[in-house]
Amino acid sequence: MTDTAAAEILADVHRGVGHILLNRPKALNALTTGMVATIDRVLAAWEDTPLSAVLIASTSTKAFCAGGDIRTIREHSLAGDAEASERFFASEYRLNARIAEYPVPVVSLIDGMCMGGGLGLSVHGSFRVVTERAVLAMPETGIGFFPDVGASYFLPRLPGAIGMYLGLTGHRLDAADALYTGLATHFVPSDGLDAVGEALADNPGDPVDVVLNRLAGRSPVAGSGLAAARGDVDWAFGAPTLGEIEKRLRHLDSTWAAAASAALEAASPQSLEITHTLLARGRQHTLRECLAAELALTRTTIRTPDFLEGVRAALVDKDRTPNWRRASLGGRTPPLS
């Protein structure tokens, strides 16, 4: 573990509650291999410590975690360093599985942006607390990648066709949408977040759910835009093929459908094909099977022109005008059957 990684992850135990703080604010807590390894090592060490809960939070109000440090992965690909990329994804997915199987409740406090790898850190835990500033998304198809960190497991398990919609379009969820879908479990106003750790420490014998409900403000879930569009989401994104999804969106002729169509049009065709296949099959597989399939997919995807171009357009040159190859996978399907 480097000193940098140690400084970017702050961990301690306070009155029977483990605290893990993401502390790379200038990069919106984008996860490096060192950060992932540090969190994994901390959680492994705490498995033998009598804790009532583990909290994962951020020192920044802008972001819980913006995802993995994907720009560095692109640099590895360009340099031909497949081993470095493999190390990152294997470490990240191992951590996702550890969080899912952790012996005590893991509580994530999502204040600000939570995307990609940020969802990998939070959604596999027992409780996901959002504030009014929370923004959640899996935006990978827009950078020539695919929803990973176990998304092929958790997205298909969302109600109806919501997971397919989120995975293909990268749609951003606010707190109300996150609660409606179940990606978030509780709402606590941002000015009440600091009280969560103390409340858990004060009430170690109470169910975490009960403690969080005591702190909760009035839930914004009634204002969910996704709930309002739910019938259209299920009909369009429940279609059996990408072509049929696009056709149904055109048929709907609504503002929501036009936005969804535009998102699909802007995404990498290769990524859409991979993502649709992954999510269609994910519900019949375990989390570990999904993570293994995703890891196998990363090895080929990160070397493709669409990935290199997508990350360039979004994160390097930031011109937001990727030139996709418009090529399909030629009938090859992702390794999740």
**What are the catalytic residues?**
68, 117, 140, 148
Distance CA 170, CA 38 (A): 28
Cα dist from 323 to 5, 111, 169, 226, 301, whole Å = 35, 34, 18, 30, 16
Under a CB-based contact definition with an 8 Å cutoff, are residues 214 and 263 in contact?
no
